[in-house]
A and B are shown apart, each in its own frame.
Chain A
Amino acid sequence: MSTDSLHTQTLAELKAGLENRDFSAVELAEALLARIDAHDATLNALLTVTAEQALDAARQADDRIANGEARALEGLPIVHKDIFCTRGVRTTCGSRMLDGFVSPYDATVVSRLADAGTIMLGKANMDEFAMGSSNETSYYGPVHNPWNPACSPGGSSGGSAAAVAGRLAPAATGTDTGGSIRQPAALTNTVGLKPTYGRVSRYGMIAFASSLDQAGVITRSVEDAALLLGGMAGFDERDSTSIDHPVPDYFSALEEDLSGLRVGVVRQHFDAGLEEHTGAAVREALDLLKTKGAELVDVDLPNIDLSVPTYYVVAPAECSSNLSRFDGVRFGHRADDAEDLLDLYCKSRGEGFGAEVKRRILTGTYVLSAGYYDAYYLKAQQVRALIAEDFREAFANVDVIAGPTTPTPAFELGAKTDDPITMYLNDIYTIGANLAGLPALSVPCGFVGGLPVGLHLVGGHFAEQTLLNVAYSYQRDTDWHHRCPEAYA
């Protein structure tokens, strides 16, 4: 069979094709590497392409397939967000600070997915240290949205989302601290899943805000999200915050039946901030769930409006400490004309970090300082506990909470860079799940002015399967996710 259309296939389809020997893993890798060559100059989705390594791995995958030793994800190409450490491969985190950094080890997510048989095609562009909602804070320039190159693909996992939407790879890993998987997924017509905090190991994932960061996946179908999550989830003794909880076979357990499902709808999520047509698309999606047997229930999250300010205290506080290790002493950027130790720190960090990272380090340093700690950090942690409690109470009555992923479709590059607050409000619907450690998923649910928007689903702790089932069921009756940006068909 021709390999011309391999880039259009999902992981599940490719898996079947490889098993049937319709094409080889090498042919598949070559086809996608060619796609990257042809299109990434426009998208800027990838920071590093690991062609040689990918082809080597593909050859080994073909051997395994030939020997009947194929593993769960044998030969399936993916890209990793450049926040994951990859042994022997440049790992930049989108920052000048790590421009030349080659990691000596693999993140657990990377090694697990490699052990499951996946093939890494490259490393995806991202907002610097995952701080941003538009991919514009990357030291390597913004990623362009395949649906409209003048628009942002969202962030921080913007490179991952654009690569998947632009058919450069069938799937990508991402990380989500306040919406960094789900928001770009919504803005690029892809599926984005952020699992429960502790579901996936954070080891080797360069920390932004440790208590909020969680690795997840961006794919074009819900089945693929289930498939890929199964390859990376699970307890890791190297991450004390990972949770020893059994990992179900998400893919095999996918279930279309929604009868009796209770879907919570949060009134505040449909307030004035929500763009009208985006709201309409989401309401339509909710109606479809209803026709498929779900019951819509109003739920109240009384403190949810505090989630953005809470997040912008907790996350910067943690990042101000997490990024202290980038001091120019052992690795990363070091200023070459420093006069003394203090000068080395100031110049290396001053040159190595971009404006948004500096803004958050300063904010975080401030909120942890003596005299301010109680008023900011401690208060924010108290509010965070209230928000988590609100969710807990809500999930006593409903199975999932559904609403918009973002207030608007993709915005133009440069539109919000001068106004951090407006930029931060892009994550208004997604941040709550991070604060409460809950799993959440964005699934394509329509288009507004030619740009995609997403339906956001949040579940209780370890309810990934429920989220996947609801989204899977939704995708069985919709074709949004089959739509492809014209230039990338």
Chain B
Amino acid sequence: MSARWEVVIGLEIHTQLATRSKIFSGASTAYGAEPNTQACLVDLGYPGVLPVVNKSVVRMAASFGLAVNATVARRSVFARKNYFYPDLPKGYQISQYELPIVERGELFIDREDGSQKRIGITRAHLEEDAGKSIHEGLDGFTGIDLNRAGTPLLEIVSEPDLRSAREAVAYMRKIHTIVRYLGISDGNMQEGSFRCDANVSVRPKGDERLGTRTELKNLNSFRFVEKAINFEIERQIDLLEDGGEVVQETRLYDADKDETRSMRSKEEANDYRYFPDPDLLPVEIDDSFINAVQASLPELPDAKTRRFVDEFGLRAEDAGILTVSRQLADYFEAACAATAAPAQLVANWILGDLSAALNKEALDVDHSRVTAPMLASLVERIHDNTISGKIAKAVFDGLWAGEGSVDEIIESRGLKQITDASAIESIVAEVIANNPSQAEEYRAGKTKLLGYFVGQVMQATGGKANPGQVNAILKQKLDS
């Protein structure tokens, strides 16, 4: 990317709120049902039906507002956004327009150099999702599935504070983490529970005026957000450098071709004729409601990261990764509570072998085959020298395979560490005797060969000899 240009990005994130029923009806929000089996008359927009606000969405939106240090409006208003589309049953979407429930928030993302950057959150508002049009396999007809119609969404709009695709992804990940911490969204991107549109423009560095922006739609993974924005930045810069102009338009990201293409221009844009929905009263909330929501907020990721560094002495980077999900952080804390071993050792195991095993089977930590108490007892056995760290990997595999408890596996596989000094001494003596030339070289000053001897001893003991003792005894024998 040319150093002459500055990129300006703002994101609109649609996060589906984790309610059991829809925002304005009692129909279920469960994903994956047969088309049109989870759409009641209200969702279908039948004549005469009326919306009733699901109260839990108000609490969820307020908790998000408080979590990002925003103003939670004491009075917010649902408005109708009018346009015709087959998957929009009423011919209008109920959303919030002039008076959203959340305004003026902020969060901080980590820069590559470890410093933090503040990203403003303009607003977050409640709205209903539309249904889905289905074109495949219908012989030229379009099918409509209204199961998703009326699903509650919180649309979170950032300030144009983001300066690169990387920052945009960091911001999106942070929002993703926060909504899952709050338990207000499952954040499932495959199922469309968390998706984003990006407004992208570029301007010559130093310019105050914003360049013409395009809006990128259909960004349903972190990877696509990054790729789509980077493609779009390059496209815009190429255009401008060739003396062209960026056209204000909506562009669709095509993941297969890794490109964005024009969907509709500003001229074709709808006049949505927003006006307050007369079927719904303004949402009015008072201080006691806000206080109750505030009191129910969980510890949020930034605070948890700081605490993991302060309280557990973790490396900041590790603390950051462990707190990406509340479940992982809880796992870490539960494991730490069950062992006297250093927390960093626990963290290393979680971020290393456990994460690898979970990834391999695409499991989340709540469904881990190795539970926090199991991991704790494994780390405990390393800490008390029953097994070495290397042997522990084999025990971990045994745990994952369901072979029993840590101690049972150590016992049944015969993995207990050899800490009997005399036993180690005799093996050491044997190894030195079998490697006379190396012993001579060592004694002549090539002390690096100690590692070779350690390896030989460990091999001879099947890795079970206590490495510290092996080192000490080897040195003693070789130096004597």
Contact = CB atoms under 8 A, between A and B. Distances in A.
Interface string B89-107: 1111000000000000000
Given A85-B48, A104-B46, A327 B271 contact: no
Interface of A: 84-85, 91, 93, 98, 101, 103-105, 107, 202-207, 209-211, 237-241, 317-318, 320-321, 323-327, 329-332, 341, 345, 365, 368-370, 373, 377
A370 B84 CA distance: 17
Contacts of A329: 86, 89, 144
Interface stretch (B159-167, B178-186, B212-220, B278-286): B278-286
Given A327-B91, A368-B273, A373-B275, 11 more contacts: A203-B48, A207-B48, A211-B278, A321-B92, A323-B91, A325-B46, A325-B89, A329-B144, A341-B142, A368-B274, A370-B271
Instruction: Give me the 7 closest cross-chain CB pairs, A-B, nearest first.
Output: A324-B91, A211-B278, A210-B278, A368-B273, A204-B48, A325-B45, A206-B47
B373 interface: no
A377 B48 contact: no
B41 A105 contact: yes
Contact of A101 (B47, B86, B92, B142): B47
A330 B89 contact: yes
Nearest to A349: B84
Contacts of A318: 278
Contacts of B90: 324-325
Given A101-B47, A341-B86, A325 B91 contact: yes
B79 to A, nearest CB: 10
Contacts of A202: 50
B48 A107 contact: yes
A444 B271 CA distance: 47
Interface of B: 41, 44-53, 80, 82, 84, 86, 89-92, 142, 144, 271, 273-275, 278-281
A169 B261 CA distance: 64
Contacts of A369: 271, 273
B82 A368 contact: yes
B275 A377 contact: yes
A204 B49 contact: yes
A105 B90 CA distance: 18
B275 A368 contact: yes
Contacts, number: 100
A104 B47 CA distance: 10
B275 A237 contact: no
Contact of A85 (B47, B52, B92, B273): B47
7 contacts: A85-B48, A202-B50, A206-B48, A209-B278, A238-B50, A321-B91, A368-B274
Contacts of B273: 320-321, 365, 368-370, 373
Which of B46, B47, B278 counts the most A-chain CB atoms under 10 A from its CB?
B47
Contacts of B53: 240
B39 to A, nearest CB: 10
Contacts of B84: 324, 327, 345
Contacts of B144: 329-330
The A interface is mostly helix, strand or loop, or mixed, namely: loop
Contacts of B45: 325, 330
Given A101-B47, A204-B49, A321 B89 contact: no
B80 to A, nearest CB: 5
B52 A237 contact: yes
A155 to B, nearest CB: 19
B293 to A, nearest CB: 22
A104 B41 contact: yes
B47 A240 contact: no
Most A Cβ at <10 Å: residue of B49, B52, B90? B49
A210 to B, nearest CB: 4
Contact of B280 (A91, A101, A240, A317): A240
A324 B82 contact: yes
Contacts of B271: 369-370
A332 to B, nearest CB: 8
Nearest to B81: A321
A368 B41 CA distance: 27
Given A321-B82, A368-B82, A241 B47 contact: no
Nearest to A329: B86
Contacts of B278: 209-211, 241, 318
B52 A240 contact: yes
A116 to B, nearest CB: 20
B477 to A, nearest CB: 86
Contacts of B46: 85, 103-105, 325, 330-331
A205 B47 CA distance: 8
Pick from A241, A329, A369, A370 the residue with the most CB of B within 10 Å: A329
A325 B142 CA distance: 18
Contacts of B275: 317, 321, 368, 373, 377
A113 to B, nearest CB: 15
> Which residue, A93, A324, A341, has most C-beta atoms of chain B within 10 A?
A324
A357 to B, nearest CB: 14
Contacts of B91: 321, 323-325, 327
Contacts of B82: 320-321, 324, 368
Contacts of A91: 47
Contact of B279 (A93, A210, A365, A370): A210
B48 to A, nearest CB: 4
A277 to B, nearest CB: 39
A93 to B, nearest CB: 7
A103 B86 contact: no
A103 B50 contact: no
A209 to B, nearest CB: 8
Contacts of A331: 46-47
Contacts of B86: 327, 329, 341
A434 to B, nearest CB: 12
Contacts of B51: 240
Given A327-B84, A329-B144, A373-B275, A239 B50 contact: yes
Contacts of A365: 273
Contacts of A211: 278
Contacts of A330: 44-46, 89, 144
B48 A241 contact: no
Nearest to B26: A238
B50 A325 contact: no
A328 to B, nearest CB: 10
A93 B48 CA distance: 11
A329 B47 CA distance: 13
Given A327-B84, A369-B271, A369-B273, A203 B50 contact: yes
B284 to A, nearest CB: 12
Nearest to B82: A321
Given A327-B91, A329-B86, A321 B48 contact: no
A93 B45 CA distance: 16
A282 to B, nearest CB: 33
